[in-house]
Amino acid sequence: MATEKFHFDIPGTKDKIIIPHFNTVKPGVVRKARKGGDLDVFFSVLEALADEKTLEVIDELSKDVFNDFSKQWQNAGDTSMGK
């Protein structure tokens, strides 16, 4: 991994999301959300790694930008929900 954190430039703004890589989450976070499905696991990981300010920024992203962010974030750590 080239950097310790994932950087995502929000299109149309000068803002950036900086968050630890997806695959840095502790196994207990995934274990606790495992029965809820991929979406529950994804948001549990996101909430475990992002601070409140970052979560507020992510909450305001459009659907398309959020989808782009989530795909890039998972792929940057060579990790996806199925791995």
Per-residue model confidence as pLDDT tens for the chain (83 residues): 445 899 999 999 999 999 999 989 999 998 988 888 889 999 999 999 999 999 999 999 999 999 999 999 999 876 544 44
The encoded tokens of residue 81 equal 């929900």
pLDDT of residue 3: 56
Q: State the DSSP code for 15.
A: -
* Alpha helices per DSSP H over the chain: 27-33, 38-49, 52-59, 63-76
Beta carbons within 8 Å of 5's beta carbon, 6+ residues apart = 18, 19, 20, 21
Query: 3-state class of 72 per DSSP?
Result: helix
Q: Residue 41 in contact with residue 33, Cβ under 8 Å?
A: yes
Predicted pLDDT at 1: 46
